[in-house]
Structure 1
Amino acid sequence: MEYDFTYQRDTRQFGLVLAPEYQILATFLVEEFAANGSAITQLLQQLTALTPQDEWRYQGKEFVLEVEQAEVLLQHNSLLHNDASASEQQLLLEEQLQLDEHGLSCHCGLEDFVKLLQDWHSFITE
């Protein structure tokens, strides 16, 4: 997985550029953790303590991170909840509306994800 880190001096915002299929990882890191080095340290500690057989779940504000058999699945909460009432669901069906799931989830290996987190942590704490 290739990535580049950015820092906007005028807005003092950190950013992360990833391939389009992994862009949700960038959104996850920026929106859930921003430049909070201690929160990333805690996440890294939990992830590095996992064995290949372990299952683990992190519920963020907008995202769910799941680890199963050394594979990471990151999903936006909108993919996990179907709270629409029956009448709302019928209206969606009638209007042929669907949730665009593109860019709302991705998979990657745990090792790659941990490396990304370590590099991100180093970047924001320098």
Structure 2
Amino acid sequence: MKPSIGRIISLLSREIAMELKDVVEPFGITVGEELYFMTLAHEDGITQDRLTELVSVDKSATARAVKALENKGLIRRNIDQKDKRNKKLYLTKAGHEIYPELSKALVSFNEKLTSAWTDEQYNQVYHSLEILQQRFQK
């Protein structure tokens, strides 16, 4: 029987989350909020529904994360002028202020995480994980 890929990914996910906590906490966000914040930093002005699609979670999880980031003053909701039923999400001034340093900290964390790999190994693992992720996107 082949070793379980799902099990190793699950274990790694928990271990990475524990380490990532130390990286993101100084910026006033949680590991769970980091993905939403960084997605908005790259896709400023999207709707909450679009954010849900981009991070591949359910709407209630997105709503909780958006509310938490909004309460922390890192994002804001504005009514979409083209469609008043929609609200668009934007980083606030405070969000834009922490983004550069948070981004650097995350890059450093990723480099530390993958430092034992050659570029070829990194690309192989990344490509394999992308293929696996795409199976869940369908």
Normalised-by-shorter TM-score class: 0.3 to 0.5
Higher helix share: 2
TM-score (norm 2): 0.31
Higher strand share: 1
Give the TM-score normalised by structure 1. 0.33
**Bigger relative contact order, structure 1 or 2, given CA contacts below 8 A and separation 6+?**
1
